[in-house]
Amino acid sequence: MAEKHFRIEIDADGIALVIWDTAGRSMNVIDLAVMDELETIIDRVSGEESIKGAVIASGKDAFSGGADLKMLGGMLEAFHTERERDQTAATQRLFDESRRLSQIYRRLETSGKPWVCAINGTAMGGAVELALACHHRVAAENPKAKFGLPEVKVGLFPGAGGTQRVARMMPAADALQYLLQGRDLDFATARKMGLVDEIVPAERLVEAAKAWILGGGSAVKPWDEEKFRLPGGPVYSATGFQVFPAANAIYRRETQNNYPGARAIMSAVYEGLQLPMDAALRVESRYFAHVLQTKEAAAMIRSLFVSMQELNKLARRPADVPASKARKVGVLGAGFMGAAVAYVSAKAGIEVVLIDRDVESAERGKAYADTLVSKDVSRGKATHEAKEELLARIDATADYQRLEGCDLVIEAVFEDRDVKADVIQRAEAVVPETAVIGSNTSTFPISSLAKASVRPERFIGIHFFSPVEKMMLVEVIMGEATGPEALAVALDYCRAIRKTPIVVNDSRGFYTSRVVGTYIREGHLMLAEGVPAAMIENVGRMAGMPVGPLALNDEVAVDLAWKILQATKKDLGESAVEPRQEHLLEEMVVKRGRLGRKNGQGFYDYPDAGKKRLWPGLQDLQEIRLDPDTVDVGELKRRFLVMQALETARCFEEGVLTDVREADVGSILGFGFAPFTGGTLSYVDGMGTKAFVDLCRALEARHGPRFAPNDLLIAMAENGETFYGRFPPTDVAPQRAA
């Protein structure tokens, strides 16, 4: 058959160089056609006596991004269709199809000919499993390359032999840690862990791979030899008894048992290490087929892989606006947020003008960028030359004239309307008329700030999350007058700095701040009801949130919550705020000066030395103290998740959100909404709209009207609709706010 993904070159020594280079794609990915070709090539290498061995390499800058998860989606769609006719046959077909890649890799591994993987650049997921199936791995000197098995992050696990090979290449404790974290490695780290055998200059990559074969490299893996012993000893041994019970405890602490993929890793490694390799791979495949059928895997694949890829490719960008490239960006305000925005911009190769009220303040902001890039240098992730180049791109100044020629200006001064208006007007007096002005506000509506602009159609919200250098999300906010050109520029900038953008329409708190505020409020109300503070925090994490609501409030500042509550009451009236929450925040902020982490006193105490701890005085603020044994933990979990999902549905009904992908991805990346659900709207769909509405009404009866389902949800429940069914994703650019 004609190869469309691979080409083969056999040299005079009888070594086959298999070059993976799928035409028309920037990245090699594994799909059914790739599997077909690879299987044929393995048979050829194995069957032709003149071929001594094979080297598999990439014809692209990266090795491979791994398996195309849309392929798995197709398998599942066929499974659900066939299951209605024949459950047994459908299950068997899914098992057979989902383990095919594992079987191909095992055929390569036992082909009788040595295979070497020449890894020139990034290799992820199924591509790493291919490398592990080879008999030797040579990597190029490439500090930017990533080597990882990230499947657990999208609800799955390495199901093409990854759990079994990794657990035979290093002690079980190390293998479990690597597999459960799903973290990316650089090649040097991968070599230390034994996952890569050699690192050579890029120009010698294929030469070194061939040399290993010519030097007598074995075509038999260690675990296929009779004398093989597990690196960490048997499962049933003194070491094994220390590893697996502790690993299970850590797994439950970190995941709250919410992730079937992570749980399957534990089981597949534990059971597989007690079996010969072929039997172990069958065990892994059974767990993989099971995890594929879970709603958690389906939701996470959709949100954290498919939807996120589409948003990163700017699915919602106005198609008729020419592409833009920010060459010079102004940042107004060199505080914590502004300094970090300057850093990520300079890291992307953009010239930055960082402005503050005086040069000293601006230089302090630049020093923050120095601190961040210096950490990269110390960890070997950047060179001293790269550091100097990055810092040279940041012009720290108090002179607004330096903004001349900026394509984009981002306002990041503190939350004072008059100060923001002043810096916006000073910037607009200098920058070209074509420049876009963005505000990083998290408090003020964009439409109101745009009144200070002489060009409101080129004014937009660009809301970053703290810490900017780590958080993936940017919330882009359309004001009433924001035009498509401003939106396109903002989205192009997000792509340049490698952030995932969501686009929302203007409203109080926009989307993310508005919804996460309900999570914090629910924690406040539970405290007022007498629920022990420690239970509130623990249940928040059990529900799937990264931190409890009280800890989160400390991070964003307790006094900010108080200010927002007062502003809400002023603008919308007494009925817009919850009296119990207002009373609690008044006690914390006004009477006791507990402002959060920033002054070392909030719901937690923050000692100079040691870990933070819940403030003992919280008990004194509770007029009622419930016996924790009488509190329904399941009810608390439901309150946390339902309230956030309900507020998201309200945002959708009001037109603040216009795309289900942005709701789900934004909820996970922006405020950590339980990733195993796939996001706030996937949580509703996964439960079923009718069941969700019934749950809302039950919570409303017990806890008040804040849980009342909105009209959109009620109508969807009556019609048996889901969010993804009624509002399928579209790549049409959102309209400006009405």
Q: How far apart are CA 150 and CA 157, in angstroms?
A: 8
Average confidence (pLDDT) over 346-364? 97
Report the alpha-carbon distance of residue 58 to residue 120 in Å, rounded.
7
What would the pLDDT profile of 553-563 be if each residue is shown by its tens digit?
999 899 989 98
pLDDT of residue 283 exceeding 90: yes
Half-sphere exposure of residue 248: CA atoms within 13 angstroms, side-chain side: 10
- Of the pLDDT bands very low, low, confident and very high (cuts 50, 70, 90), residue 187 is very high
CA distance 257 to 152: 13
- Residue, of 240 and 497, whose pLDDT is higher: 497
| Residues 480/506, Cβ–Cβ less than 8 Å | yes
Mean pLDDT, range 84-100, rounded to an integer:
92
Whole-number Å distance between alpha carbons of 343 and 468: 9
Assess whether pLDDT exceeds 80 at residue 2: no
Q: Are 52 and 113 in contact (CB under 8 A)?
A: yes
Domain 6-293: state its class: alpha beta
Dihedral angle, C-alpha 574, 635, 516, 541, nearest 10 °: 140
- Whether domain 328-507 has CATH 3.40.50.720: the reply is yes
* Position 237 confidence tier, pLDDT thresholds 50, 70, 90: very high
For the segment 636-650, the average pLDDT, to the nearest whole number, is 98
Work out the pLDDT band at 738, boundaries 50, 70, 90.
very low
DSSP 45-56: HHH-TT--EEEE
| C-alpha distance from residue 668 to each of 86, 89, 300, 335, 571 (Å) | 36, 36, 10, 26, 30
Report, as an integer, the average pLDDT of 629-640: 97
652-702 residue pLDDT tens: 999 999 999 999 999 999 999 999 999 999 999 999 999 999 999 999 999
For 433-481, the pLDDT digits (tens) are 999 999 999 878 999 999 999 999 999 999 999 899 999 999 999 999 9
State the pLDDT at residue 733: 65
pLDDT in tens, 127-147: 999 999 999 999 999 988 999
Q: What's the CATH number of domain 513-726, 3.30.360.10, 3.30.365.10, 2.60.40.10, 1.10.1040.50? A: 1.10.1040.50
Classify residue 721 as exposed, middle or buried by CB count within 10 Å of its CB (0-12, 13-18, 19+).
Answer: middle
Q: What is the pLDDT of residue 1?
A: 46
Residue range 158-169, pLDDT digits in tens: 999 999 999 999
Residue 600 has a pLDDT of 94
Strands (DSSP E) found in 426-543: 436-439, 459-464, 473-478, 500-505
- The CA distance from 313 to 495, in Å, is 8
> What is the rounded distance in angstroms from the CA atom of residue 243 to the CA atom of residue 232?
9
Give the residue among 515, 516, 539, 509 at the shortest CA–CA distance from 527: 539
What pLDDT does residue 737 have?
41
647/653 Cα distance (integer angstroms): 10
703-730 mean pLDDT? 96
pLDDT in the model for residue 735: 60
Alpha-carbon gap, residue 321 to 341, rounded angstroms: 25
Where are the domains positioned within the chain? Answer: 6-293, 328-507, 513-726
Show Cβ contacts of residue 121 under 8 Å, excluding neighbours closer than 6 positions.
58, 60, 61, 62, 63, 140, 142, 144, 145
pLDDT grade for 542, boundaries at 50, 70 and 90: very high
CA 178 – CA 167 distance, rounded (Å): 10
Q: What percent of the chain has pLDDT over 70?
A: 99
Q: Is 9 a residue whose pLDDT tops 60?
A: yes
For position 576, what pLDDT does the model report? 87
